[in-house]
Structure 1
C-alpha cells in the first residue's frame, strides 16, 4: 500500500508540473553520421595514348655461345592502349593491350627495334582517385637489320608497375615502367645459328579516357 501511495503521489506531482507549464527534460539526440563520400570508379573499358622513352640492351649469341654486346638501342615514340578493369572494393583487376610504334635505334649502324606489342594482366589498388598497379604479360617486337634489310621478331615475358590518377571522373593520366625480355633468332640466310637476347625497358607517359 505504501508503494502504491508513493506512485500515485509521483503521478500527481508530474501532472501538476505539466499543468503549470514546466517543460519536461529530454535526452539529446545524436545526429546520424554523414555518409562517407563515394570512392572513384575505376571499372569498365578505357583507352588512350602514350609517349614512350625506350632503351634496349641486346646481347648476340651463335650456336649458344656469346658473341658480343651489350648493344644499346635508344629512342622515343608514340603508342596507344586499350583495356578493361573490374573493381572490387579497393582492388582493381584488368587486362590491357598496348602498341608502341618505335623505333629505338642503335647509333652505330642504324639498326632499330619497332612495333612493340604488349599483352598485360594488371592488378591495382585504388586510393580514391589514385591507383597504383603491377603488370605481368607477354610482349613482341621487331628488330630491323639495315645491312641485310631483314626483320627479325623477338618475344618474351614482360613485367612492370605504374600509377594512374583521375583528373576528372573519366579522364586519367599516368606513368608506367615496363621491362620486356625479348629473345629471337636472326635470319638464317645471313646469320646462321645466331640469336639475340634483349632486355627492353620503357617509361610511358599515359593519358586516357574511361567509359
Structure 2
C-alpha cells in the first residue's frame, strides 16, 4: 500500500510539473529574443491605457492644481536573455487638474512624456525606473481673460508591472513632472510653471 501511495504521489508530481512547464511556455508575449524556455519575455512592442491622479503647484503663484488624468501609452522593450529590460515609452494624457485662488485660476488640460525605462524582471514581474522629456499646457485665467503656454520640461519616476495573462500586463507608476516656467502677462509677467506628482495605474497589450 505504501509503495502504491508513493507511486501515485510521484505521478501527481510529474503531471503537476509538466503542466506548470507547459503553462510557462504559453504565458506572456511571443519569444522575440532568446529566452530561457520557462521565462516570461518582456521584449517587443506594447500599447495600453492608464488612469491616475496628479497634484502639484504653480511656480510664483498660490494655486495648487490637482485632479484626475488619463490617457494612452505605447512603447518597446528590449530583453536579451537576461533579467534586465531596457525600453522607451511615450504617452499622452488628458488632465482635469485645476485650482482657483483669489482672482487666479490655473489648470493643466493635457500633458505627455517621452521616457526611457530600465528595469529588472523577476519572470513576469518587472520593477523599473524611468525618466525623460515632459511637455504640456498650463492655462491661466483671471477676470474673464485666459492665457495658455505649452512648455517642455522633464520627468522621473518608478514603477512595477506584472504579466497576468497571455499578452497582457498591469502596472502602477509614480512620476514627478516639471513643466518649465514661462512668463504670464495675467500675473504681471511672473514666471509661472506647473510641477506635480502623478500616481497612475494602467494595462498594456504586448504584441
Q: Do 1:52 and 1:79's aligned partners in 2 also have CA atoms closer than 8 Å? A: no
Deviation at 1:192, TM superposition (A): 5.3
Partner residue in 2 for 1:73: 65
Distance 1:105 1:94 in 2: 32
Partner residue in 2 for 1:41: 41
Partner residue in 1 for 2:129: 134
Bigger Rg, structure 1 or 2:
1
1:83 alignment partner, SS class: strand
> Which has the larger share of helix?
2
Partner residue in 2 for 1:90: 83
1:41 alignment partner, SS class: coil
Per-residue deviation, residues 46-98 of structure 1 (Å, max 9, x unmatched): 010000201121221xxxxxxx43x2111002211000000131000000001
**Are residues 1:184 and 2:184 paired?**
no
Deviation at 1:198, TM superposition (A): 2.9
Distance 2:206 2:118 in 1: 17
Partner residue in 2 for 1:50: 50
Structure 2: runs of 5 or more not aligned: 1-17, 22-35
**Are residues 1:170 and 2:167 paired?**
yes
Deviation at 1:39, TM superposition (A): 0.9
Alignment RMSD (CA, Å) = 2.0
Distance 2:172 2:164 in 1: 14
**Are residues 1:112 and 2:104 paired?**
no
2:176 alignment partner, SS class: strand
How does 1:3-18 map onto structure 2 within 5 Å? none
Q: Do 2:53 and 2:68's aligned partners in 1 also have CA atoms closer than 8 Å? A: yes
**Are residues 1:155 and 2:155 paired?**
no
Distance 2:166 2:41 in 1: 8
How does 1:25-40 map onto structure 2 within 5 Å? 38-40=38-40
- With normalisation by structure 2, the TM-score equals 0.75
Corresponding pairs, count = 169
Structure 1: runs of 5 or more not aligned: 1-33, 61-67
1:39 alignment partner, SS class: coil
Deviation at 1:110, TM superposition (A): 4.1
